Chains A and B, each alone.
Chain A
């Protein structure tokens, strides 16, 4: 029990620490990878809280997602290496205010919410995985399938929109700028 609390705390602090690094660096790639390790620490928190499947899934998904984000940073941002010492923070007043309010709300919810009786013994990981599988392919199947197809459609649409349409007008325009 104490060991569990200890690991949850350690990974929680690691998640916060990496989260801070996201804004404290001026390198876009470092920022993206700091976010990755922050999310990995959250995955480790899941593991410490005995939700093995979710934890492993979180750790797996974040590696590729954040790496892909990093390459988008490199593609679209000038100075992705932070050689010019760019500041990652902006709208400081608003973000400080929003941060304080969100933290307050989280604390209030944590203390006031009725968390129910503490589960003494979590079901073992194999049981959890099985239950999750049955949930995903039973009651929630429609929700998840709809969400999945929607996201896929959105990705394809976004890509299609991002590709400039080749017409004679704008290819002539392009030659002008060259």
Chain B
């Protein structure tokens, strides 16, 4: 039952996000637009490029979708509304999202095209920049909760959300989450102005529909993770817990969307440099500060 509810919530959020994305780009609020364009994709020819690595080409969009859904499976909407309340939930979401990289490498290598291949390998470089900034802030979150269980992590934020308790961790995680979801300004693997779509470039028709759905689901999953780890999950007055989770998740997802609209794409070299020279020391500092807070403040 939980499985169905969470999946419906995920799909609903993806639809809302797509509507809002269309609203910001075209200026018109059309509720049916994502469904119609999805149907239109199904009706279009799905071209397979010349001499592809067929296995990778076909698997990549599906793998990306599966990975995004798996990540969402450990994130609670309400105290009992979670598909799998794993004892290692905070680690599991890292494990699931590590396969975003694998999916993108497959999508880059599969079509046998220069734009896609550069995009795919670029994301590997991007991983080296963001990976530590995903894992280290989560470590600090788990330190406060003294648990890797996502429901316990939300429970530990009763009264004081982690965004207040460890704001530095939140900022780093938010940026790294955007890089992991390859949203603008970190959209190096797709980069329409540089690679003409990159890993997306060779996908058409049904396959592109799956890829788009997977990308939006990934954004929702990461927004949901941000909510669970930093924004107190289901905590909030008046409304029922699941409603708070959904509202916060959508708010984070939309803020990711808008941040990209008002910023130019980052240079690959700058992303690496800032993540390593600035990001990792700050993440370590965050761990030390949280450690001191946990030990000193009762």
Determine direct contact between A and B, CB below 8 Å. Answer: yes
Q: Name the distance in Å between B158's Cβ and chain A's nearest Cβ.
A: 20
Q: Name the distance in Å between A113's Cβ and chain B's nearest Cβ.
A: 29
Q: How far is the CA of A52 from the CA of B55 in the complex (A)?
A: 30
Interfacial residues of chain A within 132-154, with CB under 8 A of chain B in the complex: none
CB distance B121 to A53 under 8 Å?
A: no
CB distance B91 to A64 under 8 Å?
A: no
Most buried by B among A60, A81, A124: A60
Q: Which residues of B contact A52 (CB under 8 A)?
A: 86-88
Task: Of the listed stretches A25-33, A86-94, A97-105, name the one at the interface; the rest are far from the partner chain.
Answer: A25-33
Contact pick for B106, options A33, A81, A83, A125, CB 8 Å: A33
Query: Is A126 in the interface zone, CB < 8 Å from B?
Result: yes
Task: Of the listed stretches A6-14, A67-75, A165-173, name the one at the interface; the rest are far from the partner chain.
Answer: A67-75
Q: How far is the CA of A100 from the CA of B14 in the complex (A)?
A: 52
Contact pick for A56, options B53, B92, B121, B127, CB 8 Å: B92
Q: How far is the CA of A63 from the CA of B92 in the complex (A)?
A: 13
Given contact pairs A30-B55, A60-B94, A81-B53, A53 touches B127 in the complex (Cβ within 8 A): no
Given contact pairs A30-B56, A56-B95, A63-B99, A126 touches B131 in the complex (Cβ within 8 A): no
Q: Name the distance in Å between B31's Cβ and chain A's nearest Cβ.
A: 37
Query: Is B105 in the interface zone, CB < 8 Å from A?
Result: yes
CB distance A125 to B88 under 8 Å?
A: yes
Q: Name the distance in Å between A87's Cβ and chain B's nearest Cβ.
A: 18
When C-beta atoms are compared, the residue in chain A nearest to B146 turns out to be A130
Query: Is A36 in the interface zone, CB < 8 Å from B?
Result: yes
CB distance B91 to A56 under 8 Å?
A: yes
Query: Is B124 in the interface zone, CB < 8 Å from A?
Result: yes
CB distance B102 to A63 under 8 Å?
A: yes
Q: Name the distance in Å between B67's Cβ and chain A's nearest Cβ.
A: 10
Given contact pairs A59-B95, A67-B105, A30 touches B87 in the complex (Cβ within 8 A): no
Most buried by B among A53, A67, A81: A67
CB distance B86 to A60 under 8 Å?
A: no
CB distance B101 to A67 under 8 Å?
A: yes
Q: Name the distance in Å between A137's Cβ and chain B's nearest Cβ.
A: 13
Interfacial residues of chain B within 225-256, with CB under 8 A of chain A in the complex: none
When C-beta atoms are compared, the residue in chain A nearest to B67 turns out to be A63
When C-beta atoms are compared, the residue in chain A nearest to B135 turns out to be A60
Interface SS, A side = helix
CB distance A30 to B88 under 8 Å?
A: no
CB distance B98 to A63 under 8 Å?
A: yes
Chain A proximity mask over B62-94: 1 for CB below 8 Å, otherwise 0: 000000000000000000000000111001101
Q: How far is the CA of A63 from the CA of B134 in the complex (A)?
A: 15
When C-beta atoms are compared, the residue in chain B nearest to A60 turns out to be B95
When C-beta atoms are compared, the residue in chain B nearest to A59 turns out to be B95
Q: How far is the CA of A53 from the CA of B147 in the complex (A)?
A: 12
Chain B proximity mask over A36-76: 1 for CB below 8 Å, otherwise 0: 10000000000000001100110110011001101100100
Query: Is B115 in the interface zone, CB < 8 Å from A?
Result: no
Q: How far is the CA of A64 from the CA of B92 in the complex (A)?
A: 14
Q: Which residues of B contact A57 (CB under 8 A)?
A: 91, 95
Q: How far is the CA of A76 from the CA of B32 in the complex (A)?
A: 49
When C-beta atoms are compared, the residue in chain A nearest to B106 turns out to be A33
Contact pick for A71, options B53, B95, B124, CB 8 Å: B124
Q: How far is the CA of A71 from the CA of B101 in the complex (A)?
A: 12
CB distance A129 to B88 under 8 Å?
A: yes
Q: How far is the CA of A29 from the CA of B98 in the complex (A)?
A: 17
CB distance B124 to A67 under 8 Å?
A: yes
Residues of A within 8 A of B (CB): 27, 29-30, 33, 36, 52-53, 56-57, 59-60, 63-64, 67-68, 70-71, 74, 81, 83, 124-126, 128-129
Give the 10 A-B residue pairs with the shortest CB-CB distance, closest first. A125-B87, A60-B95, A63-B98, A126-B87, A59-B95, A56-B95, A56-B88, A56-B91, A56-B92, A60-B98
Residues of B within 8 A of A (CB): 51, 53, 55-56, 86-88, 91-92, 94-95, 98-99, 101-102, 105-106, 109, 112, 121, 124, 127, 131, 147-149
A-B pairs with beta carbons under 8 Å apart, 12 shown: A29-B105, A30-B56, A33-B56, A53-B87, A56-B91, A57-B91, A59-B95, A60-B95, A63-B99, A74-B121, A124-B87, A125-B86
**A-B contact sample (7 more), CB < 8 A, given A59-B95, A81-B53:** A33-B105, A60-B94, A63-B102, A64-B98, A67-B105, A128-B87, A129-B148
